Amino acid sequence: MSQLQKSIFIIFIILLIDQIVKIYIKTHFYYGESINILGLDWAQLRFVENNGMAWGTEFGGKTGKLFLTIFRLFAIIGIGFWLVSSIKKNAPKKLLFAIALIFAGALGNIIDSVFYGLIFNTPGGFEVATLFAGDNYSTLFHGKVVDMFYFPFIKNGVFPSWFPFVGDQTFTFFNAIFNVADFAISCGVGILIVFNKTVFPKEEKITLE
């Protein structure tokens, strides 16, 4: 199997898992519903949707959402070119694996942003969404990204009183809710950081004596 085939296989598997999990959560959980994983209080499946960037950041309403989705599309094209170029240059396998993870994660969330508004409805209360219901909740490029993994290892923690700005305030760690695509991107970036010297080897300088 060539490196290109391996990369495509990795991307396909991550996309498949990502979309299966998202569609299951969307069609079996009402918005905001959560259950403990294996009975653990600090490991939960919690259905939320992200209408913007990381940590739920939003800007510019529908226009901002459209701009963000288009930006993601251009970004994924750039990552794709990076992957193909790296394969042609016989780049280290760790680099190819990391790029494939980032590409798959980015594409997984783009699918939500581009298509989910068209293929899902969004009922209120304790009802779950329906796939291809006909009464879609938005238009092309205006879908919301489905998130579900929540690991609040520390709940109701309190900052020491001497801590600047937030002393005596409560906090939760880890309070981000993410999906398979986000996890793939984080792993890819982590590989690039941890194995920086091996994935980006410096060219040896030739000196003439």
Long-range contacts of 199-203 (CB under 8 A, 24+ apart): 199/91, 199/92, 199/94, 199/95, 199/98, 200/95, 201/92
Query: pTM of the prediction?
Result: 0.89
**Distances in Å between the alpha carbon of 151 and those of 37, 43, 105, 155, 188?**
10, 5, 19, 10, 20
Q: Is residue 209 situated within a structural domain?
A: no
Q: Is residue 129 situated within a structural domain?
A: yes
% of the chain exceeding 90 in pLDDT: 68
Which is the catalytic residue, given 41, 112, 147, 168?
147
Q: What is the pLDDT of residues 22-55, one digit of tens each?
A: 999 999 999 999 999 999 989 999 999 987 655 5
Average pLDDT over the chain reads 90
Which is the catalytic residue, given 18, 41, 112, 182?
182
Q: Is residue 204 situated within a structural domain?
A: no
For residue 155, what pLDDT is reported?
85
For residue 61, what pLDDT is reported?
65
Q: Is residue 208 situated within a structural domain?
A: no
Q: Is residue 111 situated within a structural domain?
A: yes
Q: How far apart are CA 159 and CA 170, in angstroms?
A: 6
- Reply yes or no on whether 147 is catalytic: yes
For residue 200, what pLDDT is reported?
86
Provide the number of structural domains found in the chain: 1
The counts of H helices and E strands in the chain are 6, 6
> Domain residues for 87?
3-199
Averaged pLDDT, groups of 10, the chain, 209 residues long: 94 98 97 95 94 59 80 94 96 96 97 95 91 90 94 90 88 90 97 92 59
Cα radius of gyration (the chain): 20
- Reply yes or no on whether 112 is catalytic: no
